[in-house]
A and B are shown apart, each in its own frame.
Chain A
Amino acid sequence: MQVSYSSINNCDYKHYKCRPYPNKGHANSPSYTGKIESQIFKPVQRRYNELTEWIANNYFAKFYQSKFAEKFINKSSNVKNMTTHMAAIGSTLISGMYTIRTLQNDKLDSDRKKTLAINDVLTWGLSTLGAYTIDRKLGKWWGNVTNKYAANYIDKHKGEFLNNPDLQALINKYAEINGIDVKDVNKYILEKYPEAIKTENFDARNINIYMKEYNNFIDSEDFKNYIEKHNKKIDKINEQIKANAKIKGDANPKLISKIIPDKVSDIREFNLDVLKNKNLTTHVDGMGVLKSLFVFGMVYRYIVPVLVMKPANKIGAWYHDKHKKQEVKA
């Protein structure tokens, strides 16, 4: 079977399929499905898949379900940015290793060991302190950057949000309990927030207003009263479900969850509770990791070693020289 260059060139290698030929004269040319490559890589892919499956089962799953994880979770429920702490722990371990190695080095005299060890510790301390400080200081600003990023994402991917059946159901729910028409909602927003973008529908440019209004709604007495009544009804229904399950012999009937309203503190929570877009949660988390890793990377690998420690080393060398000269004189 002869495969011409043009036929291969017309293939979509990514999906191992050929596009239809624009030239009708080649309509019956053989298709290039990439099966040969698949056959070669299949065993490798299978092995790799087995390896990752093994890691998922024997490392990740065991780690999550370990006693250590349980203790850690209980003690770290208020910790917000684990990425920074892990970066700092990694740095501490390696800096510690180098400090110990320096101190154990027989080729260096004790003065030199001490100087180098102090240098190691000082670098680590300055870097860690600086990284944490900058990371914390940038928090609020980065939160605003993240909100704007999210607004851009929502604006660009409107379809993903508006076609969300969960969101639609919630909108319907709101309409049911309020009897508010869409025109009234938007009119209200415009009256309350004159700077809001005039819109008939959801507009990502108003995302901060929506978040604020959501929190106000959750905080209102009317809503709280509504929730109280609503949850009492759910209790009654759950009792009925339990009674029916007992008759049927079902030990674990599925009960209806109570509504537990909670205010949102950032775009991530707003997305999880209201917008419910899977990708946006990952991206917003990624924004946080990006900031922290960039700050720690810059401080550990650039600011402290290049801009701080170089001058500090020169000062140290000058001090050491002076000290030695005094010793020689004595």
Chain B
Amino acid sequence: MNLTITNGYNDLKSGSHSRLKHPVVGYERKSKSVCESIDNSSMNFNGSFTGKSDTAVKVYKDLGKGFWDKIGRSERFNKILKMFEERSVVSQALVALVVAGILRPITNLAMAGKNDREDSIYAASHAIASAVVGFVVSYIVMAPFDKAFRKLKENPKKYLTSENLAKTLGVPEIGKRKLEKSQAYKNISKMAQMIPDSIVMGIPKAMLTIALIPPVLKYVFGIEKKPKNAVKQDDTQVPKNNLESNNFIEQPKMENFSGGKH
């Protein structure tokens, strides 16, 4: 594979690159010097590769052959990664959907004893319903925010017009590629992405999720919680029952946990 160098000279000359790179790649040089106007013959660099530390580095001799390689090479996985980066809140709800909607019910049912079998089935259905409702609510609520974020990410110059911002973020100017190099930009972007869900809408969304679970359980799964026994409990029974009812499946807190929120 030969690389024919046709352009790029102007890119470097214009100063669009702030760093000089070491291309340890194969090539065939066919064009004239990059930065020839700057680097005349007096600029003599004879520094070859002057590596100091030669500790072993991993070479992927079996690249593309393993199971995980095949997953990594799939376009579907690439789309998932893109979603996790650009739609972090929905991705968070997706993880909840898998963990609380699949793994947890399976474990609950597997761990259920003879006495609490019925409760476990209810709890498993509850977990699935809350995970599904949580994901759907997150997806709907966050969709316009995610799209707005992608707009800003693709064209930051249009939206970020403050003169001081570039300085604050430690970049020479506001530009997509320049911002990608800024850790500060990465941090503030993640915060901006997740604030609407985590802080502003987190609690209302959790409440909405909780409110939607009973009808979803009833009409989608056909399951309804049986009324508790009206037997009067003595003092020693009360705290025990309360603690049991505080298990992480039936309490609003964990409904919320499995409903798209931490």
Chain A residue at minimum C-beta to C-beta distance from B40: A233
| Binary per-residue interface labels of chain A (272-301) against chain B in the complex, 1 for a CB within 8 Å, 0 otherwise | 111010010111011101100110111011
Complex Cα–Cα for A286 and B132 (A): 23
Q: Which among B17, B21, B43 is the interface contact of A226 at CB below 8 angstroms?
A: B43
Complex Cα–Cα for A324 and B241 (A): 13
B225 to chain A, nearest CB (A): 18
Given the known inter-chain contacts A168-B6, A169-B8, A176-B39, please indicate yes or no for A64 contacting B165, CB distance below 8 A.
yes
**Counting CB contacts under 8 A, is A229 at the interface?**
yes
Q: Which among B99, B152, B172, B199 is the interface contact of A93 at CB below 8 angstroms?
A: B199
**Counting CB contacts under 8 A, is A195 at the interface?**
yes
Are B151 and A53 closer than 8 Å at their CB atoms?
A: yes
Are B50 and A259 closer than 8 Å at their CB atoms?
A: no
The 10 A-B pairs of least Cβ separation, nearest first, read: A169-B8, A222-B47, A201-B26, A286-B81, A90-B198, A91-B262, A305-B248, A216-B51, A256-B15, A297-B95
> Interface residues of A: mostly helix, strand, loop or mixed?
helix
Q: Which among B1, B2, B88, B145 is the interface contact of A289 at CB below 8 angstroms?
A: B88
Given the known inter-chain contacts A70-B168, A90-B194, A255-B15, please indicate yes or no for A182 contacting B24, CB distance below 8 A.
no
Contacts of A220 in B (CB 8 A): 47, 49-50
Contacts of B139 in A (CB 8 A): none
Contacts of A95 in B (CB 8 A): 253
Complex Cα–Cα for A188 and B197 (A): 52
Q: Which among B2, B3, B19, B60 is the interface contact of A207 at CB below 8 angstroms?
A: B60
Q: Which among A73, A162, A169, A182 is the interface contact of B12 at CB below 8 angstroms?
A: A169
| Binary per-residue interface labels of chain A (214-227) against chain B in the complex, 1 for a CB within 8 Å, 0 otherwise | 10111111110111
**Counting CB contacts under 8 A, is B38 at the interface?**
yes
**Counting CB contacts under 8 A, is B119 at the interface?**
no
Are A73 and B51 closer than 8 Å at their CB atoms?
A: no
Are A162 and B1 closer than 8 Å at their CB atoms?
A: yes
Chain B residue at minimum C-beta to C-beta distance from A145: B68
**Counting CB contacts under 8 A, is B181 at the interface?**
yes
Interface residues of A in 34-84 (CB under 8 A from B): 48, 51-53, 55-57, 59-61, 63-65, 69-70, 72-74, 76-77, 79-80, 82-83
Complex Cα–Cα for A182 and B2 (A): 10
